[in-house]
Amino acid sequence: MSMVLFDVPGPKARARHKIMAVIGIAAVLAGLVYVAMRFIATNQFSSRRLDWINYKQIQLSLVEAIGNTLSAFAVGAALALAFGAIFAAARLSDHAWVRAPAAVIVEIFRAIPLVIMMFFFYYGLPVAGVKLSAFTAVVVSLMLYNGSVLAEIFRAGINSLPKGQSEAAYALGMRKTQVMTFVLLPQALRAMLPTIISQLVVLLKDTALGFLITFEELLRWGTRIGGDAVNFGRPMISVMIVVALIYIGLCLLLTWLATYLEKRNRRNKKVIHLDDDAAGQVQLGNASTTVGAGLAV
Amino acid sequence: MSVLTNNLPLFLDLFWKTLQLFAVSAVLSLVLGTILAALRVSPVPVFRGIGTGYVTVLRNTPLTLVFVFFVFAYPLLDILKIENYTAAVVALSLYTAAFVCEVVRSGINTVPVGQAEASRALGLTFVQMLGNVVLPQALRSVVPPMTSTMIALLKNTTVASGFAVAQAGNIRDSLSEQGENVLFGLLWVALGFVILVMPLTYVQQVFEKRWSVAR
Amino acid sequence: MRVRTLAAVLLTSALALAACGKEGSPTDQAAPAGLFEVAKDVKVEGSPTFEKVKARGNLVIGVKEDQPGLGYKDPTTNKYSGFDIDIARLISAKLGFDPEKIQFKTVQSAAREQALINGDVDYYVGTYTINAGRKEKVSFAGPYFVAGQDLLIKADNTTITGKDTLKGKKVCSVTGSTPAKRIKDEGLTEAANVIEFQGYSQCVTKLLEGEVDAVTTDDAILKGYAAAEEGKLKVVGKTFSSEPYGIGLPKEDKALRDKVNDILQASLDDGTWQKIYEGTLGKSGSPAEKPKIDRY
């Protein structure tokens, strides 16, 4: 927390802060109470609208929906990491004819909205006779977009390593591939791990875009149960709160993993500490998605 | 090519609507995000807590879910009726504000401690110091990542496709209804976004280079 | 640390929930037992589909799962119910299959022809409009119901009385569907007033909130929603298209088509069809009109 901006408060300031704190709490509480009153006034938490939680079939379908979200995440993440590694290597290549197309591809896929990519694979390709399932369309789109972002992260990570590392490796007589795979990549990966994981958080959230192309994931499950008028009188509010909590929980788990790894890295003497925090720079560069991984958990 | 030339008015109209949706949400999210950032660096712990809470919740929730909430769930509460378009603007603004907040906050953190200390020594109040000394200096490290955030917002407007809000993401619907080639139509839409995004990316890189030297 | 506690809490609550899971549905919509008598020793001469099913021992029926009153899968029980489902059950019973030998399979609209061609389903019952284009790929028994595009409005709405009163009103339908296209093509309301969502239930939500004035699609589907909302919504009742629903069968199987047509005709004559209608779509309050079987 930035204590830069103000001195340690004296007695007067402390009193003022207390008053402001009371006002702040009162304002937030007033907002929450109002919303809660609306919840009650419109019967959002009536026993009928909460009843869905009790049914075994619904619990099973929820587990299945979470499973679909997580498998799209797992497959998408694995493919994106591979795509990122390949294109980062291509962009660092000594040959211009490899470097240039790789750069163009990465830039283009970073500029196209994921939704448009998913539409392309799910609605566009069948025109050309190629039928992909919603799952495949989601996973391929996630791979292309996040893979491109990861390629930039990897590249920045490798570029930020001290020059001495590769020089020393070359001096030992290693070939280019060896330098990359044995010396540069492992170090870069470790240094960039928190950034990579926060990009994976983005990927996890983006699986929810599959909702738009009828992929049976968590959010789609939520709108189906939440829109059930026959059994539960549209429990949309309570279902969406639960779905949001699940997403937040999953993302925080990943973020927590990132902070944990960062802390472990700091203790680990094998890791090179980058002076100018190149990782952070890339992150800011991709702020769209990943500003400040070190979120207070 | 014929898909584009036959439907040029459709493409132009919907891309124009994308830009409108983007502009409104951008202004709102910048205002809200800056207010949140001020909360997150304020000396009152409760305010910081409120800011952190907001950012944690919104940044870890998929945008599509925020949309679903405002389009399908919020109206059930019967508070204030909002149209689909307004719901889309609210969803985009609230979501993006969390990212804007983080950009501004990390920008503030890059301003050297001495600056704030010096302004306090001169007797400036917290608001004066933030507005006259810290924020103007933070701006240079804020602009590049802020551009990225805005690019992301521009691309995120397409999420509105699933919620009956007209913008470029809906070009596909109209094309398939008219029996046009959706495959090529979507390629043109993709190209449209590349054309919109590339100049922004370029501007961002220029600023980044210029200011990284100036530091 | 806090995250770990959170995860632990979530896990325990999930386990606690799983432990007290309720079975059954709060609104049991299953057809009354014994409505359909299972026929014995049925033979359909020259039907490859029937031979295949006999050999396999169970029947796979393609249906829809998201249309209350027609084809609806209850999320609490995973059981199907509705008019289409009961028609499918009736036919299976008359073909000599016990209810436990039937397996329902959800097939989305766009994949129906392919599912029949591939043999993934033995027959399909799910708001399947008979038309010339589809007859080239599959064959149809029936129609077992004649639907038509209609309007669903709030029960207290008196301004919308038919398709010509829609000007200036917001009309909701499903993205890319035929009803949405018809509204636009015939200029029944301004293009900007046609709101399109992914599913009819989302349109119905918007109708209940008052953000749209009408939902349009086949009256059978609308009746299902009107029945589910009990008194809050009504169907205008002036159809402006004709959608004969047929039972989709593999194209070459004429023997089975004739058999299914016989079954449908018998049910129309002996009142079974009427009973099925009253137990499902009839709950919306709209009277039924019996279809005329079209043997081609």
C72 with C95, same domain? Answer: yes
Do A59 and C18 count as a contact with CB atoms less than 8 A apart?
A: yes
- Whether the CB-CB separation of C86 and C279 falls below 8 Å is answered with yes
Residue C23 lies in a domain: no
C247 with C140, same domain? Answer: yes
Please name the residue that has the structure tokens 């400040």: A292
Task: Collect all residues with Cβ–Cβ distance below 8 Å to A131 and sequence separation of at least 6.
Answer: A125
Q: Which residues of A touch C80 (CB under 8 A)?
A: none
SS in 3 state form for chain B? CHHHHHCHHHHHHHHHHHHHHHHHHHHHHHHHHHHHHHHHCCCCHHHHHHHHHHHHHHHCCCHHHHHHHHHHHHHHHCCCCCCHHHHHHHHHHHHHHHHHHHHHHHHHHCCCHHHHHHHHHCCCCHHHHHHHHHHHHHHHHHHHHHHHHHHHHHHHHHHHHHHCCCCHHHHHHHHHHCCCCHHHHHHHHHHHHHHHHHHHHHHHHHHHHHHHHHC
Return the residue of B nearest to A241 by Cα. B69
C211 with C247, same domain? Answer: no
Question: Does residue B169 sit at the A interface (CB-CB below 8 Å)?
Answer: yes
Whether the model pTM is above 0.80: yes
Closest CB to B173: pick one of C172, C196, C209.
C196
Q: Which domain holds residue C178?
A: 149-235
Phi-psi region of A217 (alpha: psi -120 to 50; beta: other; left: phi over 0): beta
Question: Does residue A248 sit at the C interface (CB-CB below 8 Å)?
Answer: no
- Whether the CB-CB separation of A87 and A151 falls below 8 Å is answered with yes
Closest CB to B72: pick one of C176, C195, C205.
C205
Which pLDDT value is given to residue C289?
A: 80
- Whether the CB-CB separation of C85 and C104 falls below 8 Å is answered with yes
Percent over 90 (pLDDT), chain B = 48
Return the residue of C nearest to A234 by Cα. C205
Instruction: State which of C218, C235, C252 marks the end of a domain.
Output: C235
Neighbouring chains to A with at least 3 Cβ pairs closer than 8 Å: B, C
Mutate which of A33, A70, A112, A290 to test chain B, going by most B C-beta atoms within 10 A?
A112
Do C17 and A53 count as a contact with CB atoms less than 8 A apart?
A: yes
Do A230 and C29 count as a contact with CB atoms less than 8 A apart?
A: yes
The Cα C81–Cα C73 span in angstroms is: 6
Percent over 90 (pLDDT), chain C = 13
Mutate which of A230, A245, A254 to test chain C, going by most C C-beta atoms within 10 A?
A230
* Beta strands C59-63; C102-106: pairing state: parallel
C125 with C182, same domain? Answer: no
* CATH number for C267: 3.40.190.10
Please tell me the total number of residues recorded for chain A in this structure.
Answer: 297
Look up the ipTM and state it: 0.89
Do C209 and B176 count as a contact with CB atoms less than 8 A apart?
A: no
Do A226 and B146 count as a contact with CB atoms less than 8 A apart?
A: no
The residues with which C151 forms a beta bridge, in sequence order, are: C216
Task: Collect all residues with Cβ–Cβ distance below 8 Å to A105 and sequence separation of at least 6.
Answer: A87, A148
The Cα A271–Cα A265 span in angstroms is: 7
> How does residue B128 score in pLDDT terms, banded at 50, 70 and 90?
confident
* Beta strands C214-218; C171-174: pairing state: parallel
Question: Does residue A236 sit at the C interface (CB-CB below 8 Å)?
Answer: yes
CA angle C113, C116, C122 (to 5 degrees): 150
Q: What are phi and psi of C73, to 5 degrees?
A: -100, 120
> How does residue A270 score in pLDDT terms, banded at 50, 70 and 90?
low
**How many pairs of residues across A and B have Cβ atoms under 8 Å apart?**
212
**In this predicted model, what pLDDT tens digit does every residue of A35-77 receive, in sequence order?**
888 888 888 888 888 888 888 888 888 999 999 999 999 999 9
Task: Collect all residues with Cβ–Cβ distance below 8 Å to A175 and sequence separation of at least 6.
Answer: none
The Cα C177–Cα C164 span in angstroms is: 20
Task: Collect all residues with Cβ–Cβ distance below 8 Å to A64 and sequence separation of at least 6.
Answer: A221
Neighbouring chains to B with at least 3 Cβ pairs closer than 8 Å: A, C
CA atoms within 13 A on the CB side of B151: 30
Task: Give me the mean pLDDT over the A29-39 stretch.
Answer: 90
For the sheet with C80-81, list strands across it: C66-67, C71-73, C80-81
pLDDT at A244 over 70: yes
Tally of domains within chain C: 2
Min Cα distance C185 → chain B (Å) is 11
* Beta strands C149-154; C214-218: pairing state: antiparallel
Which pLDDT value is given to residue B1?
A: 67
Min Cα distance A36 → chain B (Å) is 10
* Six token digits for residue B29: 């999210």
**How many pairs of residues across B and C have Cβ atoms under 8 Å apart?**
27
Which pLDDT value is given to residue B110?
A: 84
* Six token digits for residue A105: 């591809």
Do C26 and A231 count as a contact with CB atoms less than 8 A apart?
A: yes
Residue A269 burial (C-beta neighbours within 10 Å; 0-12, 13-18, 19+): exposed
Residue C2 lies in a domain: no
> How does residue A279 score in pLDDT terms, banded at 50, 70 and 90?
very low
Question: Does residue B177 sit at the C interface (CB-CB below 8 Å)?
Answer: yes
Mutate which of A70, A115, A214, A223 to test chain B, going by most B C-beta atoms within 10 A?
A115
Return the residue of B nearest to A22 by Cα. B46
Overall fold of domain B2-214: MetI-like fold (1.10.3720)
SS in 3 state form for chain C? CHHHHHHHHHHHHHHHHHHCCECCCCCCCCCCCCCCCCCCCCCCCCCHHHHHHHHHCCEEEEECCEECCCEEECCCCCCEECHHHHHHHHHHHHCCCCHHHEEEEECCHHHHHHHHHHCCCCEECCCCECCHHHHCCEEEEEEEEEECEEEEEECCCCCCCCHHHCCCCCEEEECCCHHHHHHHHCCCCCHHHEEEECCHHHHHHHHHHCCCCEEEEEHHHHHHHHHHCCCCEEECCCCCCCEEEEEEEECCCHHHHHHHHHHHHHHHHHCHHHHHHHHCHHHHCCCCCCCCCCCC
> How does residue A81 score in pLDDT terms, banded at 50, 70 and 90?
very high
Question: Does residue B43 sit at the A interface (CB-CB below 8 Å)?
Answer: yes
pLDDT at C195 over 80: yes
The Cα A243–Cα C153 span in angstroms is: 31
Return the residue of A nearest to B169 by Cα. A116
C174 with C207, same domain? Answer: yes
Which pLDDT value is given to residue C101?
A: 85
C158 with C83, same domain? Answer: no
pLDDT at A128 over 60: yes
> How does residue B30 score in pLDDT terms, banded at 50, 70 and 90?
very high
Task: Give me the mean pLDDT over the C69-98 stretch.
Answer: 87
Q: What are phi and psi of B66, to 5 degrees?
A: -60, -40
For the sheet with C171-174, list strands across it: C194-197, C171-174, C214-218, C149-154, C233-235
Closest CB to C21: pick one of A55, A225, A253.
A55
For the sheet with C59-63, list strands across it: C102-106, C59-63, C123-124, C243-250, C138-147
Do C10 and A55 count as a contact with CB atoms less than 8 A apart?
A: no
Q: Which residues of B touch C197 (CB under 8 A)?
A: 162-164
The Cα B197–Cα B176 span in angstroms is: 26
C264 with C203, same domain? Answer: no
C55 with C137, same domain? Answer: yes
C88 with C223, same domain? Answer: no
Min Cα distance A190 → chain C (Å) is 23
The Cα C248–Cα B188 span in angstroms is: 38
Which pLDDT value is given to residue C279?
A: 83
Percent over 70 (pLDDT), chain A = 88
Residue C36 lies in a domain: no
Interface residues of C toward A, Cβ cutoff 8 Å, are: 2-3, 6-7, 10, 17-18, 20-23, 25-27, 29, 66, 68, 72, 74-78, 108, 198-199, 201-202, 204-205, 225, 228-229
pLDDT at B66 over 90: yes
The Cα B215–Cα B140 span in angstroms is: 9
The Cα B40–Cα A3 span in angstroms is: 11
Do C209 and B173 count as a contact with CB atoms less than 8 A apart?
A: no
> How does residue A280 score in pLDDT terms, banded at 50, 70 and 90?
very low
Q: What are phi and psi of C153, to 5 degrees?
A: -135, 170
C180 with C140, same domain? Answer: no
Min Cα distance A58 → chain C (Å) is 6
The Cα C119–Cα C250 span in angstroms is: 8
| Mean of per-residue pLDDT scores for chain A | 84
- Say whether A269 sits in a helix, a strand or coil: coil
Which pLDDT value is given to residue A290?
A: 36
Closest CB to C228: pick one of A51, A55, A230.
A230
Return the residue of A nearest to C78 by Cα. A57
Q: Which residues of C touch B84 (CB under 8 A)?
A: 195, 211
The residues with which C140 forms a beta bridge, in sequence order, are: C248
pLDDT at C48 over 70: yes
C193 with C54, same domain? Answer: no
C169 with C203, same domain? Answer: yes
